[in-house]
C-alpha cells in the first residue's frame, strides 16, 4: 500500500508545479496529478511574459501590479536561461489615452515594485528612433519605452516540476483524477492512467486543487465540495507571423476599443501577436483561435504597422482559456488577474485548498500563500518558509549576465555544433544542456537528427527527465521547434516518443512480473 502523502496536487500547470516545488523543498511529501502533459492547458498558451501588467493599473489593481513587479526580477534571477529582459515600445496615439496619463502610469510602474536591475522608462521621438520605422507614418510621433521580461512559459512549468521531483515529489502525468473522497483523517484520491487505463488510489493528508479551468468541476463533481468562489473562463488567442521588423524591442499597441495588443519578437525569426479577451463557454480543452480573433489581431497590427498582416500570413495560432476569478466585471478585459484561495476544512476533517485565478508572474508568491494556508493542517510547513526566491531552477545556476559565457563554454566543449544550436540549448536548458550533450565529439554521437537541430539525445533527455510523452509535448511545449519542422519531421518525433513509451512500459511490466 502506498504511503500517505502530505499533499496531493491536482493540476500540472504553473500553479500546481510551483506549489509542488515549494512544498517538496520544505520536506513535505508531495504527489502531483496532471491529466495530460505538464503545461498542456492554460500555462503554455500565454503571451510569454513575466510582467507587472501595465494595463492593470487602470483597474486600480495596485497590489497585484506591485507583487508582479517584485516577482519579475526574482524570477529572472532564478531562471536566467528561460527569462530575459525585453524593452517595450508604447506609441502614443492621438485620441486615445493622453501622453501625460501614459507617463504617469509608467512612473508608477517603474517605482512601486522595487525595480533594481531593469532599466527604467524613457521617452522616444518616434520620428527619429528606429522603433518608429515599422510604424505607420504620420500617426505616431511620440512614444515611451519601458522594461519587462519574456519567458518560455511551458519550460517554466516543467522546470518547477523537475525541481520538485529532484526534492522528492512524485510527478504523475497522463493521470486522470476520477474521484476524491474525504475520510476522517485524510483523502482518498482515485486515479486512472490515461494511456493504460490502470487505476490506483492514493491517500493524502491535504489536497490542493490547482486544476485551472476545471477547478470548479473538480470541487463539485469529484470532491462533492460546495464552493463560494467561481471562475470566469476567458479565451485568449495569439497568432505568429514572420517577423515584422528587425530590432529586438516589443510593442504594446493601444486600440480604440480599450484593449491592448502586444507584438513581440519571437523565436528569432517570428513575431508573436496577442492577445484577445472574450468570455468562453464549453470544454476548455477544445478551445481554438477563431477566425474573428485572428482577423481582429491582424487588423490591429495593420492599423499600427506599415506592413499589413492578413490571416494568410499566420504561420501558427494558439488559444487558451484563462480561469479568472469571477469578480463580476462587465467585460472580459476588465476581469481581475489576481488570485483567490479558498480553503474548505470541516471541523477535524482534512483540508482542501482551491486556486482561483492567478497569472504566471505571481505563481511563486501564490505557492507560498498556499503553503501558509495549509500550515494549520501540516505543521511542518513552517520549517522552510520563503526558500524559493533564491534557489535557482534547474539549469539556472549561473549569473544573469553570463548567458554568453555559458554559450561560449558549451561551444568550446562541442565545436561541431552550429552556434544557433548551442544558443537554443542554453536558452532552453541552461547549465543542463551539458547533460544532453554528454561527451559527444561529433554529430553522430547525438543519435538521429530529426531536423531543426532536434536530436535523439535531446529526446532521450526530455523523455527521461522532463516527462515528455508525445511529439506535441516536444515540439510545441518543451520547445517551439514545430515552427521550423515539417509535418513529416514532427510525425517522426511522435513515432520515436511512442516507441520509447512502449519500450519503457514493457520493461516496467517485465520487472513487475519478476
- Contact criterion met (CB below 8 Å) for 339 and 355: yes
Domain count for the chain:
3
Mean pLDDT within 241-251: 97
* Helix and strand element counts for the chain (H, E): 13, 20
The DSSP secondary structure of 338-376, one letter per residue, reads: -EEEEEE--TTSPPEEEEEE--GGGHHHHHHHHHHHHTT
Res 511: pLDDT = 59
Q: How far is CA 335 from the centre of its chain?
A: 20
What's the length of the chain? 514
Mean pLDDT within 274-278: 94
Residue 1 pLDDT greater than 60, yes or no: no
Q: What is the DSSP letter of 171?
A: E
Name the average pLDDT for the chain: 94
The DSSP secondary structure of 83-151, one letter per residue, reads: EEEEEEEEE--TTSS-HHHHHHHHHHHHHTTT--SS---EEEETTTSGGGTTBPTTT--EEEEEEEEEE
Residue 160 pLDDT greater than 70, yes or no: yes
User: Do the domain assignments include residue 52?
Assistant: no
CATH code, 140:
3.30.9.10
State which of 323, 348, 373 marks the end of a domain: 323
Nearest to 83 by CA among 155, 23, 140, 131: 155
Mean pLDDT within 217-237: 92
- Contact criterion met (CB below 8 Å) for 254 and 93: yes
C-alpha to C-alpha distances, 9 to 18, 19, 163, 287, 369, nearest whole angstrom: 11, 8, 15, 24, 15
User: Do the domain assignments include residue 330?
Assistant: no
Res 379: pLDDT = 77
On whether both 225 and 359 belong to a single domain, the answer is: yes
On whether both 344 and 225 belong to a single domain, the answer is: yes
Q: Which of 124-128, 307-311, 360-364, 510-514 has the lowest mean pLDDT?
A: 510-514
User: Do the domain assignments include residue 394?
Assistant: no
Res 510: pLDDT = 60
> For 405-457, what is each residue's pLDDT tens digit?
999 999 999 999 999 999 999 999 999 999 999 999 999 999 999 999 999 99
On whether both 205 and 264 belong to a single domain, the answer is: no
C-alpha to C-alpha distances, 69 to 262, 373, 404, 446, nearest whole angstrom: 18, 23, 26, 41
> For 5-48, what is each residue's pLDDT tens digit?
999 999 999 999 999 999 999 999 999 999 999 999 999 999 99
C-alpha to C-alpha distances, 298 to 12, 38, 261, 280, 353, nearest whole angstrom: 32, 30, 10, 21, 41
Res 508: pLDDT = 64
Mean pLDDT within 208-233: 93
Looking at the chain, the whole-number percentage of residues with pLDDT higher than 90 is 86
Res 380: pLDDT = 73
**Residues whose CB is less than 8 angstroms from the CB of residue 190 and which lie 6 or more positions away in sequence, other chains included:** 177, 178, 179, 180, 181, 199, 200, 201
On whether both 252 and 139 belong to a single domain, the answer is: yes
> For 297-333, what is each residue's pLDDT tens digit?
999 999 999 999 999 999 999 999 999 988 777 666 6
Res 493: pLDDT = 98
State the pairing for strand pair 170-172/30-33. Answer: parallel
d(CA 302, CA 296): 10
d(CA 48, CA 153): 6
In the numeric block, the cell 532552453 is attached to 428
User: Do the domain assignments include residue 69?
Assistant: no
d(CA 152, CA 480): 9
CATH code, 384:
3.50.50.60
User: Do the domain assignments include residue 429?
Assistant: yes
| Tally of CA atoms within 13 A in the half-sphere of 311 that contains its CB | 8
Say which residue, 3 or 382, is predicted with more confidence.
3
CATH code, 461:
1.10.8.870
Name the β-bridge partners of 451: 454
Res 386: pLDDT = 81
Residue 506 pLDDT greater than 80, yes or no: no
User: Do the domain assignments include residue 439?
Assistant: yes
Mean pLDDT within 194-209: 96
Res 330: pLDDT = 64
User: Do the domain assignments include residue 73?
Assistant: no
State which of 295, 323, 351 marks the end of a domain: 323
In the numeric block, the cell 495588443 is attached to 261
**Residues whose CB is less than 8 angstroms from the CB of residue 411 and which lie 6 or more positions away in sequence, other chains included:** 417, 419, 422
Q: What's the domain range around 472?
A: 403-504
If 0-12 CB within 10 Å is exposed, 13-18 middle and 19+ buried, where does residue 169 land? buried
* C-beta contacts of 308-312 below 8 A and 24+ residues apart: 309/241, 309/244, 309/273
State which of 297, 323, 349 marks the end of a domain: 323
Mean pLDDT within 75-84: 98
Nearest to 178 by CA among 167, 194, 158: 194
Res 349: pLDDT = 83
d(CA 170, CA 440): 31
Mean pLDDT within 350-360: 94
Q: Which three cell numbers stand for residue 309?
A: 498582416
If 0-12 CB within 10 Å is exposed, 13-18 middle and 19+ buried, where does residue 390 land? exposed
User: Do the domain assignments include residue 65?
Assistant: no
On whether both 117 and 237 belong to a single domain, the answer is: yes
On whether both 276 and 376 belong to a single domain, the answer is: no
Q: Which three cell numbers stand for residue 374?
A: 495549509
pLDDT band at 507 (very low <50, low <70, confident <90, very high): low
On whether both 167 and 223 belong to a single domain, the answer is: yes
On whether both 346 and 482 belong to a single domain, the answer is: no
pLDDT band at 228 (very low <50, low <70, confident <90, very high): confident
d(CA 91, CA 129): 12
On whether both 226 and 236 belong to a single domain, the answer is: no
State the pairing for strand pair 187-193/199-209. Answer: antiparallel
On whether both 462 and 484 belong to a single domain, the answer is: yes
Q: What is the DSSP letter of 2?
A: P
Q: Residue 15: enclosing H or E segment and its boundaries?
A: helix 14-25
Mean pLDDT within 383-399: 90
On whether both 188 and 91 belong to a single domain, the answer is: no
In the numeric block, the cell 507571423 is attached to 241
Res 503: pLDDT = 81
On whether both 22 and 161 belong to a single domain, the answer is: yes
Residue 284 pLDDT greater than 70, yes or no: yes
> For 462-471, what is each residue's pLDDT tens digit?
999 999 999 9
> For 364-379, what is each residue's pLDDT tens digit?
999 999 999 999 998 7
pLDDT band at 229 (very low <50, low <70, confident <90, very high): confident
In the numeric block, the cell 468562453 is attached to 280
Res 162: pLDDT = 98
**Residues whose CB is less than 8 angstroms from the CB of residue 408 and which lie 6 or more positions away in sequence, other chains included:** none
Q: Which of 124-133, 336-345, 459-468 has the lowest mean pLDDT?
A: 336-345
State the pairing for strand pair 352-357/339-344. Answer: antiparallel
Amino acid at each position: 500500500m502506498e504511503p500517505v502523502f502530505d499533499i496531493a496536487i491536482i493540476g500540472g500547470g504553473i500553479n500546481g508545479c510551483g506549489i509542488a516545488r515549494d512544498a517538496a523543498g520544505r520536506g513535505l511529501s508531495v504527489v502531483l496529478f496532471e491529466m495530460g502533459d505538464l503545461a498542456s492547458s492554460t500555462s503554455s498558451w500565454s503571451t510569454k511574459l513575466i510582467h507587472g501588467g501595465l494595463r492593470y493599473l487602470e483597474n486600480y489593481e495596485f497590489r497585484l501590479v506591485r507583487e508582479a513587479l517584485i516577482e519579475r526580477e526574482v524570477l529572472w534571477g532564478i531562471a536566467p536561461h528561460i527569462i530575459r529582459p525585453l524593452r517595450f515600445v508604447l506609441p502614443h496615439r492621438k485620441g486615445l489615452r493622453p501622453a501625460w496619463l501614459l507617463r504617469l502610469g509608467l512612473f508608477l510602474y517603474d517605482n512601486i515594485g522595487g525595480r533594481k536591475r531593469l532599466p527604467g522608462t524613457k521617452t522616444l521621438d518616434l520620428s527619429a528612433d528606429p522603433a518608429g520605422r515599422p510604424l505607420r507614418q504620420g500617426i505616431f510621433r511620440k512614444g515611451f519605452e519601458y522594461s519587462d521580461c519574456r519567458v518560455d512559459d511551458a519550460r517554466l512549468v516543467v522546470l518547477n516540476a523537475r525541481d520538485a521531483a529532484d526534492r522528492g515529489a512524485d510527478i504523475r502525468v497522463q493521470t486522470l483524477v476520477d474521484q476524491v473522497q474525504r475520510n476522517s483523517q485524510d483523502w482518498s484520491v482515485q486515479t486512472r492512467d490515461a494511456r493504460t487505463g490502470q487505476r490506483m488510489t492514493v491517500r493524502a493528508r491535504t489536497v490542493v486543487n490547482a486544476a485551472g479551468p476545471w477547478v470548479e468541476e473538480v470541487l463539485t463533481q469529484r470532491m462533492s465540495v460546495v464552493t463560494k468562489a467561481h471562475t470566469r473562463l476567458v479565451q485568449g488567442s495569439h497568432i505568429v507571423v514572420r517577423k515584422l521588423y528587425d530590432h529586438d524591442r516589443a510593442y504594446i499597441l493601444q486600440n480604440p476599443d480599450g484593449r491592448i495588443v502586444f507584438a513581440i519578437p519571437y523565436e528569432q525569426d517570428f513575431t508573436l501577436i496577442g492577445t484577445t479577451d472574450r468570455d468562453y463557454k464549453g470544454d476548455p480543452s477544445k478551445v481554438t483561435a477563431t477566425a474573428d480573433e485572428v482577423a481582429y489581431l491582424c487588423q490591429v497590427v495593420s492599423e499600427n504597422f506599415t506592413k499589413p498582416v492578413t490571416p494568410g500570413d499566420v504561420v501558427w495560432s494558439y488559444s487558451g482559456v484563462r480561469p479568472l476569478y469571477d469578480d463580476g466585471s462587465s467585460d472580459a478585459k476588465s476581469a481581475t488577474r489576481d488570485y483567490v484561495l479558498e480553503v474548505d476544512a470541516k471541523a477535524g476533517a482534512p483540508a482542501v485548498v482551491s486556486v482561483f485565478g492567478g497569472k504566471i508572474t505571481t505563481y511563486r508568491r501564490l505557492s507560498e500563500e498556499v503553503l501558509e494556508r495549509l500550515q494549520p493542517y501540516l505543521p511542518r510547513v513552517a520549517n522552510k518558509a520563503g526558500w524559493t526566491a533564491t534557489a535557482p531552477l534547474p539549469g539556472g545556476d549561473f549569473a544573469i549576465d553570463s548567458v554568453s559565457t555559458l554559450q561560449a563554454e558549451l561551444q568550446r566543449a562541442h565545436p561541431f555544433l552550429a552556434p544557433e544550436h548551442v544558443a537554443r540549448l542554453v536558452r532552453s536548458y541552461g547549465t543542463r544542456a551539458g547533460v544532453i550533450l554528454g561527451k559527444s565529439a561529433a554529430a553522430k554521437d547525438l543519435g538521429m537528427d530529426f531536423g531543426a537541430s532536434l536530436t535523439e539525445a535531446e529526446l532521450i533527455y526530455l523523455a527521461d527527465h522532463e516527462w515528455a510523452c508525445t511529439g506535441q509535448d516536444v515540439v510545441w511545449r518543451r520547445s517551439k521547434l514545430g515552427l521550423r519542422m515539417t509535418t513529416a519531421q514532427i510525425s517522426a518525433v511522435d513515432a520515436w516518443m511512442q516507441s520509447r513509451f512502449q519500450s519503457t512500459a514493457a520493461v516496467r511490466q517485465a520487472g513487475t512480473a519478476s
